[in-house]
Amino acid sequence: MTAINIEMKIFKSSTILIVILLILMVAYYLILQNYKAHDTNNMPTDAHNDTLVHKKQINNKVSIDTIVSVDFLTGKFNPAKDTSFTLVDPEYGGRSDMYLLKDTYKAFIKMFYAAQHDGVKLYIISATRNFVYQKSIWEQKWNGSKLVEGKNLATSVKDPVKRAEIILKYSSMPATSRHHWGTDVDLNSMDDKYFSTTEGKIVYNWLCANASKYGFCHPFNSKNERSSGYEEEKWHWSYMPLSRIFLNQYKNKVTYANITGFSGCETALKLEVIKNYVLSINSECK
């Protein structure tokens, strides 16, 4: 074998090695890019972003692309420390410590002034209630420290399922309340009698005629319109552009394993509270 032949062989081998190396580098780069894209798609947003509402402008229409966690949907966060939420000015409400998602709040203010223009006074008496807050309401009723229908349920209703059913007429189980989402408000009075007064009737009729113009709907409408769920709540209104999305995400993400951590939580599955309460709302709010 001549020296030239040996050199040619070495040259050919080196070329093959370089080509193999290049192929490997390109393959590595492609795998890395694919991994990054995949990672970004599945990446949970950081603690704050988890509850943020992201808006996208597509073809001049605002579409809302919302990423929310199970923790958000089940109220496991503190609205006072979350930048998606804002404090409700006492001008619009009966208390100084209420929070709403910023978009809900903006829509409510528009509705508030429209109502005021028509001589109707709206005021928020309850807004966002997180898991801890709802747990305290639920457990006071569960353990009898707050009477329900004039009764101490801890002593008068021993059967846990029956006790839960009575509380569920007007109060959600923690982790199942629409009030967790920053989209729902209770207006003016949580007493049905108020809505039988002249003022209450005017307020309710105004809301029924106008609330939808501002994005609000009435999830707990007459029981005649729903097969199950909470009693009618004329005071409860929901900012549908967001709550509809959250309801949909709730349906897909939340399971009974997420509805725990409070007295009587074992009744959640027996009563199928997701199907019979969370999803059993006015069809116009879905």
Count of residues that bind Zn ion according to CB under 5 A: 2
Residue 268 or 281: the one with the smaller Cβ distance to Zn ion is 281
The token pair at 280 is 């059993």
Residue 82 or 186: the one with the smaller Cβ distance to Zn ion is 186
Residue 52 or 207: the one with the smaller Cβ distance to Zn ion is 207
CB of 230 to Zn ion, least distance (A): 9
Q: Which residue has the tokens 């409408």?
A: 221
CB of 280 to Zn ion, least distance (A): 15
> What distance in Å separates the CA atoms of residue 188 and residue 195, rounded to the nearest whole number?
9
Residues 75-94 that bind Zn ion (CB under 5 A): none
236 counts as binding Zn ion under rule CB under 5 A: yes
Is residue 71 a contact partner of residue 88, using CB atoms and an 8 Å limit?
A: no
CB of 220 to Zn ion, least distance (A): 8
DSSP SS3 for 120? coil
Q: Which stretch binds Zn ion (CB under 5 A): 31-39, 192-200, 205-213, 230-238?
A: 230-238
Residue nearest to Zn ion (CB): 236
- In the chain, where does DSSP find H-type helix? 3-42, 70-73, 102-117, 131-142, 153-156, 160-167, 198-210, 240-253, 267-270, 273
- One residue of 186, 195, 277, 281 binding Zn ion per CB under 5 A: 186
Is residue 153 a contact partner of residue 141, using CB atoms and an 8 Å limit?
A: yes
Residue 103 or 186: the one with the smaller Cβ distance to Zn ion is 186
Q: Report the half-sphere exposure of 269 (CA within 13 A, side-chain side).
A: 7
Name the percent of the chain in helix, strand, coil, to the closest 5.
55, 10, 35
CB of 195 to Zn ion, least distance (A): 14
Residues 108-127 that bind Zn ion (CB under 5 A): none
> What distance in Å separates the CA atoms of residue 185 and residue 192, rounded to the nearest whole number?
16
Q: Which stretch binds Zn ion (CB under 5 A): 11-19, 38-46, 229-237, 272-280?
A: 229-237
Is residue 108 a contact partner of residue 239, using CB atoms and an 8 Å limit?
A: yes
Q: Which stretch binds Zn ion (CB under 5 A): 22-30, 110-118, 164-172, 228-236?
A: 228-236
Residue 165 or 233: the one with the smaller Cβ distance to Zn ion is 233
103 counts as binding Zn ion under rule CB under 5 A: no
Which residues would be at the binding site for Zn ion (CB under 5 A)?
186, 236
